[in-house]
Amino acid sequence: MKRRRLVGLAIAMALLLCQGCDDSKDIQNMAYVTGVGIDYVDGKYIAYVQVLNFANVAKTENMELGKEVPVWIGIGEGETVTGALTDMNTTSQLRMFWGHLKVVFLSENLLKKGVTDIYNGLNRYREIRYNLFVYGTKENMMDMLQVQSLFNMSPLESIAYSGAQVNTQRSFILPEIGNRFIAGLNEPGNPTPLPSVSISRKKWSEDDTKKPLFELTGAYFFEKDKMKNWMSAEDLIGIQWSQENLDRTMIRLPKKEAAIAVLMLYHPQFHVRPVILGDRPVFDLTVNIDGELTELLENRPLQEIVQMGNAAIREEIQFTFEKGLEKECDPFKLSQALYRVDPKLFYKLKETRGFFLNKESIRNINVKLNMTGTGKYKGRI
């Protein structure tokens, strides 16, 4: 019995000596990083870190909509990415928490240098998650990290941070998750494009004051991990028919004449079939897509509208492909499709010709539009 008491006393003394959670930090005493911008100037990395006070962001019953959310931005520079972030951290008055990082903006200077080191430096840290949105930009990083959303809501409610597909004619430029982007860079053929985002300063106003908001403007294309070229959203209009993650997109018919109808189209299914003719590859493209009639401006048979839709989709695909040829970009990943079927021929063409696609590379574009409804009316009122 005496021995048991001694053991119990020893355990009690040991528990009293334990520090417990003495070194833990109160959540209100940490700086939460939500966005990062990285530039490369004169041989040095410049890191911009955005910090939000979550007390101003949290959605509560007492939340005052329209009240401006303050944004804090820290700047550091160094010869490496980690060095730049450490330089910024030396003047932070609170512990930086990186678990809520949502988005990374990369400058064109950095894209031209190469992006692998950036992801290696950022994603190695244990608090940072894999599912970051990554964008390229031509804008000033300070300006990018100060952009808010409608009603002065925090940047977390903007399209760049949320990755939301808005129902616009540019909704086909989908956000790119960081780990998928890096995985795509390692694939043979022209790798995954990186969406570009800029600041629209003229389209929205609060009373008489212009308000800057994010706008998706196109995509960067890469050779290995370095930027090769950029294509605008207007030039990439046909890429929407190859993106199976696309929720919905709108198309006006016909494309160039007076409008007859407007369709809302959903979740395209896109397939590339390489065909080898001797030592020359050609490609057959197939698009299957569902859609609904959302506006009818002139009475026409439904079958005629379907045919017009098929022709418009085919035209947009051909247009984007030819725009890509001008800049030696492969927006439909035809090179990658060839690699899957005949890697030996792929490497031979890359070695002898470099960019081997030409105007005859697409042999057929087959489009099948399936109309699932016409709304509450069958014809024009």
* Residue 155 vs residues 37, 168, 201, 233, 350: alpha-carbon distances, Å: 14, 20, 16, 23, 43
Question: Among 185, 212, 236, which residue terminates a domain?
Answer: 236
Same domain, 194 and 322: no
Residue 222 in any domain: the answer is yes
**The dihedral of CA 243, 338, 192, 126: what is its sign?**
positive
Q: What is the pLDDT of residue 92?
A: 85
Residue 12 in any domain: the answer is no
Contacts of 33 (CB under 8 A, 6+ apart): 49, 50, 51, 96, 97, 98, 100, 101
Same domain, 74 and 178: yes
- Tell me how far apart the alpha carbons of residues 218 and 196 are, in angstroms, rounded to a whole number: 5
Q: What is the pLDDT of residue 90?
A: 87
Question: Among 169, 204, 236, which residue terminates a domain?
Answer: 236
Calculate the dihedral angle through the C-alpha atoms of 158, 163, 169, 172, rounding to the nearest 10 degrees. 160
- Tell me how far apart the alpha carbons of residues 266 and 291 are, in angstroms, rounded to a whole number: 6
Task: Show the CA angle centred on residue 38, arms to residues 36 and 43, nearest 5°.
Answer: 155
User: Total domain count for the chain?
Assistant: 2
Residue 211 in any domain: the answer is yes
* Residue 6 vs residues 9, 11, 16, 17, 144: alpha-carbon distances, Å: 5, 9, 15, 17, 65
Asked, as a colleague might, if the bond just before 254 is cis with ω within 30 of 0, I would say yes
Same domain, 44 and 182: yes
Query: pTM for this one?
Result: 0.86
Same domain, 289 and 323: yes
Same domain, 208 and 265: no
Residue 200 in any domain: the answer is yes
Residue 3 in any domain: the answer is no
Q: What is the pLDDT of residue 168?
A: 54
Question: Among 236, 271, 303, which residue terminates a domain?
Answer: 236
Instruction: Mark the ranges of the chain whose per-residue pLDDT is less than 70.
Output: 1-28, 54-67, 165-171, 190-191, 378-381
Q: What is the pLDDT of residue 62?
A: 53
HSE-CB of 277 using CA atoms within 13 angstroms? 10
Q: What is the pLDDT of residue 28?
A: 65
User: What is the CATH classification number for the domain harbouring 247?
Assistant: 3.30.300.210
- Using DSSP, state whether 163 is helix, strand or coil: coil
Q: Closest Cα to residue 249, out of 313, 311, 171?
A: 171
Q: Which residue range is the domain that position 310 belongs to?
A: 237-380
